């Protein structure tokens, strides 16, 4: 059995077993530590040749090892033009202490995984469900799409600073994220959108943005591609089906969030932040129909489901409906992750222990 699939099954089984523990704080800890180690093993001990991208990263790592510190940023001239300086200098830090590519994978795995655990512990209504959603939303891809998922992890850590209006810390994290993957710039508007005090004004602004995006999304993303450079394939290919499904799913979850959470969804703090982020996610995914890999760019907003789904689940009063929502969510995302086209990339995945 594929190790990633097997690890997810283990996490599901463990989620059921820990329900025997009555005290939530203890139950969450008992769940988090073993699953963190398991996911870290899956990330850090991947067979480099069994998934995409990693062979190229290994080649760049070998080049960085022999490149002086003051010339690392010029490695793009050696055929690695898409690799941002933050990523390259992380490689250099590892090589400078004698570390190999396996240690590099271990470090990048921590940078990807830890933010999900920290944000889930801090804000989630169900830490266990948040971790399961992380496994279903981004975990598979993050085993080989390292740069962007490090950037996504950094933007996750910025959530408290958006809510607490600490703009310097937010912008600092955004800069770091940008140094790992330039598409992180797409997450910048959420700080200012959340800062609008009137929810009605914000909804009107987002509605207008949606209408504009319907007509201008291709231009906006081509402009973004030209601005940051190196991401033309995110914009120019055509894979309509994936975008349509993503847009439908996120719209449905936005509706569920509003219906089941009611007035709670506009309460200042994480509830309102989730609402605005879900709306932006829908705008990107629906208005971006016909643009290839919009889901890659929209991931910075899409990952909010790790907090939104547990909150929806917690606010469903009817137990039958609550469990139906949970089961359908896990089955749908499970099928997308392990039964659809996304699985093709990790189907050959193998461990190297």
Q: What is the pLDDT of residues 238-278, one digit of tens each?
A: 444 445 677 788 889 999 999 999 999 989 999 999 999 99
Task: Quote the pLDDT of residue 155.
Answer: 98
The Cα–Cα gap between 167 and 69 comes to: 31
Q: Indicate the helix (H) or strand (E) that contains 129.
A: helix 127-134
CA neighbours within 13 Å on the CB side: how many for 100? 4
3-state secondary structure of 46: strand
pLDDT of the residue at 330: 95
User: What residues have CB less than 8 Å from 87, skipping those under 6 apart?
Assistant: 146, 147, 150, 179, 180, 181
Residue 137 pLDDT: 92
| Torsions phi, psi for 212 (to 5 deg) | -65, -40
Q: Which of 155, 72, 66, 142 is nearest to 108 (CA)?
A: 142
Structure tokens at 106: 């271990």
8 Å CB contact between 283 and 216: no
Residues 6+ apart with CB under 8 A from 75: 60, 63, 64, 67, 83, 88
45: DSSP letter: T
**Which sign does the torsion angle of CA 185, 189, 194, 200 carry?**
negative
Distance, first Cα to last Cα, the chain: 16
> What is the spatial distance between Cα 89 and Cα 87, in angstroms, rounded to a whole number?
6
- Return per-residue pLDDT of the chain as tens, 353 residues: 899 999 999 999 999 999 999 999 999 999 999 999 999 999 999 999 999 999 999 999 999 999 999 888 877 656 666 789 999 999 999 999 999 999 999 999 999 999 999 999 999 999 999 999 999 999 999 999 999 999 999 999 999 999 999 999 999 999 999 999 988 999 999 999 998 887 777 878 777 777 766 666 656 665 555 555 555 555 444 444 445 677 788 889 999 999 999 999 989 999 999 999 999 988 888 776 656 556 677 899 999 999 999 999 999 999 999 999 999 999 999 988 888 767 888 889 999 97
The predicted pLDDT at position 25 comes to 92
pLDDT of residue 151: 97
Q: Which two tokens stand for residue 46?
A: 């991947």
Burial of 30 (0-12, 13-18, 19+ CB in 10 A): middle
Q: Which residue has the tokens 């703090």?
A: 269
What pLDDT score does 214 carry?
Answer: 61
* Burial call 291-322: b when 16+ CB within 10 Å, e when fewer: bbbbbbbbbbbbbbbbbbbbbbbebbeeeeeb
């Amino acid at each position: 059995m594929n190790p990633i699939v097997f690890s997810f099954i283990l996490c599901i089984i463990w989620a059921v077993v820990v329900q025997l523990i009555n005290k939530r704080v203890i139950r969450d800890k008992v769940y988090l530590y073993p699953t963190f180690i398991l996911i870290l093993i899956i990330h850090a001990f991947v067979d480099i040749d069994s998934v995409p991208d990693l062979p190229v990263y290994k080649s760049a790592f070998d080049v960085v090892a022999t490149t002086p510190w003051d010339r690392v940023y010029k490695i793009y001239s050696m055929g690695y033009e898409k690799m941002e300086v933050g990523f390259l200098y992380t490689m250099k830090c590892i090589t400078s202490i004698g570390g190999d590519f396996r240690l590099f994978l271990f470090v990048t795995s921590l940078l990807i995984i830890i933010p999900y655990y920290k944000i889930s512990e801090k804000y989630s209504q169900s830490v266990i469900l948040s971790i399961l959603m992380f496994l279903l939303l981004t975990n598979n891809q993050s085993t080989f799409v390292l740069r962007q998922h490090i950037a996504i992890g950094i933007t996750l850590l910025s959530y408290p600073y958006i809510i607490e209006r600490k703009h310097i810390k937010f912008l600092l994290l955004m800069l770091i994220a940008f140094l790992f993957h330039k598409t992180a710039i797409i997450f910048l508007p959420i700080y200012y959108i959340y800062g609008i005090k009137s929810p009605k004004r914000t909804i009107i602004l987002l509605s207008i943005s949606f209408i504009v995006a319907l007509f201008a999304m291709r231009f906006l993303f081509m402009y973004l591609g030209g601005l940051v450079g190196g991401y033309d394939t995110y914009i120019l290919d055509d894979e309509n089906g994936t975008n349509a499904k993503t847009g439908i799913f996120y719209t449905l979850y936005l509706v569920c969030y509003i219906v089941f959470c009611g007035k709670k969804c506009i309460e200042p703090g994480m509830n309102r932040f989730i609402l605005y982020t879900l709306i932006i996610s829908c705008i990107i995914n629906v208005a971006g129909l016909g643009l290839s890999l919009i889901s890659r760019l929209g991931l910075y907003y899409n990952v909010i489901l790790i907090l939104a789904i547990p909150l929806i689940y917690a606010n469903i009063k009817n137990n039958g409906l609550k469990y139906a929502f949970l089961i359908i969510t896990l089955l749908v995302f499970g099928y997308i992750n392990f039964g659809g086209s996304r699985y093709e990339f990790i189907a050959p995945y193998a461990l190297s222990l």
